[in-house]
Structure 1
Amino acid sequence: MKQDNDRRRIKTDDRGSVFLHLANSDMPASERAPERLLKEAQVLLAGGTATTSHTLGEDLREELRKPMADWPSHIPTLVELEKLPLLTAIIKESLRLAYGVMHRLPRVSPDTPIQYGKYTIPSRVPVGMSTYFMHTDPDVFSQPFEFKPERWLGSITPKMLRNYVPFARGSRNCLGQE
């Protein structure tokens, strides 16, 4: 039996998606086609990012005004730029959401057992961590999938510092981080 595309409904428990409402609406099938919905998604994405980037851009421009006042005769040093809280927060939040390697990065202690809390991990047993899971832990970063540089402007907790590993850690961390 052939199904009429004009009457096909998508079944899901999601009740809040704009696209679910569009797909299940009484609009003609051509208006609900994947290509059309893709264009609607682009409009929504642009609308949601343009205002945020404009606001951040204005605040960042104001913060950069003083250190960049004598450009190009004076180029701010890295130390000067690291003192700018909003610039630092934007960079940290960008690196938090740019996961890089998403798979676990295994490490092995070749000779010595590792003590982790009450657990003893024998030598030569691989132990791994994942930047993705550490950077999106909702117990550490509220609303972990949202770009919120302000999280780095307020109270930075020890858990945030522990879980912030955009360049990994230890002897095998990224050489390009500096």
Structure 2
Amino acid sequence: MKVIEHTVIKVGIADLKFAKSPDRLRTSGLGSCVGVVVYDTTAKLAGMAHVMLPDSTSAKNKDINPHKYADTSLKELIDTLLTQGAKKYALKAKMAGGAQMFSFSSSNDMLRVGKRNVEAVKAILEDYRIPIVSEDVHGSSGRTIEFSIDQATLEVRTVSEGTKEI
């Protein structure tokens, strides 16, 4: 059996990276943040965004990091995949994160960043008509995710819950 060498490309917080098969994409530190992978298995391309906040329009400083926000990060992620040879009809997504890391006595949804991040990512992917194949979202634990382009699998390691593949 031949072992295929691959590189793990690390995606930082409020970051966005791309990879081609056989490489993998990994991000850690997903609390209320959401890790989103958009990929095309035929073109063997994928991109991963580590989204911190749902919407760039609320940013006070207009000299922002576009990778921090769901709206700007996912637009760049999808546009770049398409320019690299991915086909719009073949794009699929997987996502994880969006945990509620702290308990709040308030019912103010502004404090529920994880929930808002998940909703924003889902709405944007729906606008682009990109199906979410699988997800591991919400809860109250942090996660690390690693995406294999070859297998189109997302390995999710959740604090105190172990590892699963989605």
Same fold? TM cut 0.5: no
Shorter-chain TM-score bucket reads: under 0.3
Determine which structure has more spread, i.e. the larger CA radius of gyration: 1
Structure (1/2) with the larger helix percentage: 1
Structure (1/2) with the larger strand percentage: 2
TM-score where L is the length of structure 2 = 0.24
Instruction: For CA contacts below 8 A with separation 6 or more, give which structure has more relative contact order.
Output: 2
